[in-house]
């Protein structure tokens, strides 16, 4: 009896001692990557990953990425301190003044987000290349197309990174090369050009089914941007190449979202409306749809006032951040429909559905104008304290500056509520780029063809009765005027810094609270967080 108990205990102990020593991990709520890519949906989910990520840096969705650097360092938009809000460590003041340094978020976060998106492309290419598509019910042709699309999308990431940072490393594999070295801007330019050209024939043309994807039309538009800026970026002008690819797009060789050939929206506002995913004007966009996809282009955080939802009967509010610089507001004539429709100014009314009484029609402020009507003013200064003069980056109040209204979500009850896509390239820009390339070729003078291209676009912004006074002629369309009109047309679209640099104004001109800076600020510094861990990175001159 005793002995048997001892035996049992001993056996139990031995069992315990020899219990399994396996320590393998099995995640439950994540996927192990080598168990993925078993069907079409899984393949597509990897191909589309960089697109959802691009919203974080290419669009104004609340992070410091490409968009913020492009707009907040330029002459149209600013994020001034408004009372106790918006100092944010001086980030936005430094962007406006051109006093950023290498060891700060303005240099690091765009790099982080954009190379991260580029890494998704590398990863998709790495994972799909060895995959046998026929085993998962797809074709080799689909594989070629999807790989081509991902490579072109990767080239677009490099194009935008080169725009900001100039000299950057080129990496096409995942975590395979330690300490990649800086390549000159010229080399990056050549890489981008080659990658797009090598893969463009494998791409699908733009069509309603391909909305939001890297199609032929998108690839042509990327080449247009590349060639338009070639002189600035490489020292060698490529005006003819620029015009060639503009023509291809205009001729419909890249496809179209509506009809066979892309066309300017007759209604200038529909290109940004909540049904713009079918706009014939759009060439490449990040597509969103709150109702169908539960995904929204959330611009409200950066632009809207704390109570702005009341204006639209929307479901979210903003952080009262980015506003229009007074001089940029004044650059629009009063009869310009874009001024009236793309910006908010003056007293703001509540959506009728939200009014509790007849007297309850105005949106009220919460800060300097607490419980008083919220009236947006173009000045950025302390009006409540009686300040006069030009104001400045630390002088804002809750109602300072005209506000963004280019994209409008519609009402909560609308079927298309917040269905807006963020437009990356649209046909209007191709018209402008072609006209600019032609003028530059001609030493800065406009031909009638160039004037017509611009007038076709501009005409939509004026009532018929005003148009005769506003139309350009070959003598009024100067280079300065072209830059000004570009500003009015593409305000809020994340292109202004590149334009100012190409026109030689970015570091030499003064605007509002900004004084001319120095040439080094045409490039952002390579972030200190990377130069400190990768000895093969070369810092840009002057930083």
Partner 1 sequence: MHKRSTFWAQVSIASTFLLLISLFAFSQGKTISGKVTDANDHTPIPGVSVQIKNTSTGTITKSDGSFSLQAPANATLVFSFIGYQQQEVPIGNGTPLDVKMTAGVKSLQDIVVVGYGTQKRNEVTTSVATVKAENFNQGGSRSPMDLIQGKVAGLSVTRTQGNNPNSGASIQIRGISSLSGDKNPLIVIDGIPGGNLDLLQQDDIATFDVLKDGSAAAIYGTRGNNGVILITTKKGKAGEPQYTYSTYLQREAVAKRPSILSAAEYAKIPGADNKGGDVDMYDMLLDKDNLSHYHNFAASGGTVNSNYRASLYYNDANGIAKQNGRKQYGGRVNVNQTGLQGLLTMQFNLAANFNKANLNGGNSGGGDNKAGNAGADFEQAVQRNPTAPIYGPDGKFIETNGYNNYNPLARLQQELYDRDQKTYSGDARITLEPIRDLKLSAFGAIVRDEYNDRQYKLKSSRSSVQDYKGGGYAYKANSAAMDKTFEATADYTRTVHSDHTINVLGGYSYQYSTLEKYSMDNNGFLTDAFQDWNISAGNALNDQTLPRPKQSSNKIDNTLIAFFGRINYNYKQKYMLQAILRHEGSSRFGANYKWGNFPAVSGGWVISKEAFMQDITVINNLKLRAGYGVTGNQGIPSYQSIITLGTGGPYIQYGQWIQTYGPNKNPNPDLRWEKKKEFNIGLDFSLLKNRLGGSIDVYSRKTEDLLFNYTAQLPSNILDNIFTNVGAISNNGVEVVINAVPVQGKDFTWRSDLTFNSQRNKMVSFSNQIFKTTEQYYGDLPSPGNLGSAIRVVEGGPLGTFYGYRYAGLTEDGKWQFYKKDGSIGTIETMNPDDKTVIGNGIPKYMASWNNSFRYKNFDLSIFFRGKFGFDILNLQDMYFGNKKWTPNNMLTSAIGKNAKLNADPQFSDYYLEKGNFVKLDNITLGYNFRLHTKYIRNLRVYASGRNIATFTKYTGLDPELQDTALDSGIDGRGFYPRTRSYTIGLNLGF
Residues 39-58 that bind partner 1 (CB under 8 A): 41-42, 44-53
Please identify, using beta-carbon distances, which residue of 115 and 432 lies nearer to partner 1.
115
Does 145 participate in binding partner 1 (rule CB under 8 A)? no
Does 23 participate in binding partner 1 (rule CB under 8 A)? yes
Does 22 participate in binding partner 1 (rule CB under 8 A)? yes
Please identify, using beta-carbon distances, which residue of 317 and 466 lies nearer to partner 1.
317
Nearest alpha carbon to residue 246 among 219, 220, 226, 208: 220
Alpha-carbon gap, residue 15 to 23, rounded angstroms: 18
Does 83 participate in binding partner 1 (rule CB under 8 A)? yes
Please identify, using beta-carbon distances, which residue of 293 and 504 lies nearer to partner 1.
293
Q: Which residues lie below 8 Å from residue 507, measured CB to CB, with a gap of 6+? A: 98, 501, 516, 517, 518, 519, 521, 522
Among 66, 103, 276, 340, binds partner 1 (CB under 8 A): 103
Alpha-carbon gap, residue 41 to 39, rounded angstroms: 6
Among 417, 422, 425, 512, binds partner 1 (CB under 8 A): 417
SS3 state of residue 504: coil
Residue 371, number of CB atoms within 10 A of its CB: 7
To partner 1, the closest distance from the beta carbon of 509 in angstroms equals 20
Q: How many residues at the interface with partner 1, by CB under 8 A?
A: 113
Please identify, using beta-carbon distances, which residue of 85 and 333 lies nearer to partner 1.
85
Does 358 participate in binding partner 1 (rule CB under 8 A)? no
The distance of Cα 307 from the centroid of its chain, to the nearest Å, equals 25
To partner 1, the closest distance from the beta carbon of 522 in angstroms equals 19
Q: Give, as ranges, the residues between 458 and 517 that touch partner 1 (CB under 8 A).
A: none
Q: Give, as ranges, the residues between 309 and 328 that touch partner 1 (CB under 8 A).
A: 315
Among 366, 416, 474, 507, binds partner 1 (CB under 8 A): 366
To partner 1, the closest distance from the beta carbon of 439 in angstroms equals 38
Structure tokens at 499: 């334009």
Does 104 participate in binding partner 1 (rule CB under 8 A)? yes
Does 442 participate in binding partner 1 (rule CB under 8 A)? no
To partner 1, the closest distance from the beta carbon of 425 in angstroms equals 18
Structure tokens at 244: 């060639």
Helices 49-58/140-165 angle, 10° precision: 20
The window from 24-32, 58-66, 184-192, 515-523 that contacts partner 1 (CB under 8 A) reads: 24-32
Does 258 participate in binding partner 1 (rule CB under 8 A)? no
Does 413 participate in binding partner 1 (rule CB under 8 A)? yes
**By the 8 A CB rule, do 118 and 161 touch?**
yes
The window from 111-119, 189-197, 324-332, 337-345 that contacts partner 1 (CB under 8 A) reads: 111-119
Among 65, 202, 212, 401, binds partner 1 (CB under 8 A): 212
Alpha-carbon gap, residue 471 to 462, rounded angstroms: 10
Q: Give, as ranges, the residues between 158 and 197 that touch partner 1 (CB under 8 A).
A: 169, 171, 173-180
Q: Give, as ranges, the residues between 237 and 256 that touch partner 1 (CB under 8 A).
A: none
Q: Which residues lie below 8 Å from residue 10, measured CB to CB, with a gap of 6+? A: none
CA dist list (Å): 213 to 204, 217, 242, 282, 531: 9, 10, 22, 12, 34
The window from 7-15, 334-342, 435-443, 445-453 that contacts partner 1 (CB under 8 A) reads: 7-15
Nearest alpha carbon to residue 242 among 485, 454, 438: 438
The window from 28-36, 133-141, 261-269, 471-479 that contacts partner 1 (CB under 8 A) reads: 28-36
Does 356 participate in binding partner 1 (rule CB under 8 A)? no
Residue 139, number of CB atoms within 10 A of its CB: 10
Does 262 participate in binding partner 1 (rule CB under 8 A)? no
Does 120 participate in binding partner 1 (rule CB under 8 A)? yes
Residue with tokens 């982080």: 112
To partner 1, the closest distance from the beta carbon of 296 in angstroms equals 10
Does 25 participate in binding partner 1 (rule CB under 8 A)? yes
Alpha-carbon gap, residue 540 to 342, rounded angstroms: 37
CA dihedral 14, 18, 20, 21 (to 10 degrees): 140
SS3 state of residue 142: helix
Does 292 participate in binding partner 1 (rule CB under 8 A)? yes
The window from 12-20, 68-76, 185-193, 479-487 that contacts partner 1 (CB under 8 A) reads: 12-20
Transcribe 229-243 into DSSP letters.
Answer: THHHHHS---HHHHH
**By the 8 A CB rule, do 261 and 191 touch?**
no
Does 17 participate in binding partner 1 (rule CB under 8 A)? yes
Between vectors from CA 390 to CA 80 and to CA 328, what angle results, nearest 5°? 70
SS3 state of residue 403: strand
Does 542 participate in binding partner 1 (rule CB under 8 A)? no
């Amino acid at each position: 009896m005793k002995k048997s108990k001892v035996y049992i205990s001993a056996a139990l102990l031995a069992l315990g001692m020899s219990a399994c020593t396996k320590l393998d991990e099995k995640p439950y709520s994540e996927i192990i990557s080598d168990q993925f890519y078993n069907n079409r949906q899984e393949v597509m989910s990897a191909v589309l990953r960089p697109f959802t990520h691009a919203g974080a840096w290419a669009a104004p969705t609340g992070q410091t990425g490409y968009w913020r650097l492009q707009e907040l360092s330029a002459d149209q938009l600013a994020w001034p301190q408004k009372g106790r809000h918006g100092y944010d460590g001086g980030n936005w003041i430094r962007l406006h003044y051109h006093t950023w340094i290498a060891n700060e978020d303005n240099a690091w976060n765009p790099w982080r987000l954009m190379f991260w998106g580029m890494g998704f492309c590398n990863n998709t290419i790495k994972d799909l290349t060895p995959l046998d598509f026929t085993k998962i019910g797809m074709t080799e042709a689909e594989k070629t197309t999807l790989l081509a699309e991902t490579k072109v999308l990767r080239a677009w990431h490099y194009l935008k990174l080169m725009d900001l940072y100039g000299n950057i490393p080129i990496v096409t594999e995942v975590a395979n090369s330690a300490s990649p070295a800086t390549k000159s801007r010229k080399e990056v330019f050549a890489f981008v050009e080659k990658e797009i050209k090598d893969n463009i024939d494998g791409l699908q043309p733009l069509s309603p089914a391909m909305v939001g994807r890297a199609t032929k039309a998108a690839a042509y538009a990327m080449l247009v941007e590349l060639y338009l800026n070639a002189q600035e970026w490489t020292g060698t002008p490529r005006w003819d190449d620029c015009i060639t690819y503009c023509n291809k797009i205009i001729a419909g060789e890249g496809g179209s979202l509506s009809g066979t050939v892309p066309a300017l929206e007759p209604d200038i506002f529909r290109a940004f409306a909540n049904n713009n995913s079918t706009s014939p004007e759009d060439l490449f966009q990040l597509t969103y749809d709150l109702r169908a996809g539960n995904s929204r282009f959330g611009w409200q955080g950066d632009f809207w006032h704390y109570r702005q939802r009341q204006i639209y009967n929307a479901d979210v509010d903003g952080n009262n951040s980015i506003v229009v610089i007074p001089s940029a507001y004044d650059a629009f004539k009063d009869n310009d429909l874009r001024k009236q429709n793309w910006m908010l100014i003056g007293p703001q009314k509540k959506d009728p559905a939200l009014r509790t009484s007849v007297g309850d029609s105005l949106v009220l402020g919460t800060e300097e104008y607490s419980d008083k009507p919220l009236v947006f003013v173009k000045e950025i200064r302390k009006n409540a304290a009686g300040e006069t003069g030009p104001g400045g980056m630390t002088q804002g109040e809750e109602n300072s500056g005209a506000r963004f209204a280019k994209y409008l979500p519609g009402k909560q009850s609308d079927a298309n509520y917040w269905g807006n896509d963020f437009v990356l390239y649209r046909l209007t820009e191709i018209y402008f780029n072609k006209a600019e390339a032609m003028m530059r070729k001609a030493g800065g003078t406009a031909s009638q063809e160039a004037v017509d291209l611009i007038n076709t676009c501009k005409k939509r912004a004026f009532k018929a009765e005003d148009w005769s006074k506003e139309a350009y002629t070959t003598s009024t369309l100067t280079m300065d005027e072209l830059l000004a009109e570009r500003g009015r047309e593409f305000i809020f679209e994340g292109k202004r810094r590149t334009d100012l640099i190409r026109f030689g104004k970015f570091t030499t001109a003064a605007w509002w609270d900004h004084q001319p800076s120095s040439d080094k600020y045409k490039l952002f510094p390579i972030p200190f967080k990377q130069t400190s861990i990768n000895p093969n990175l070369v810092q840009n001159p002057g930083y």
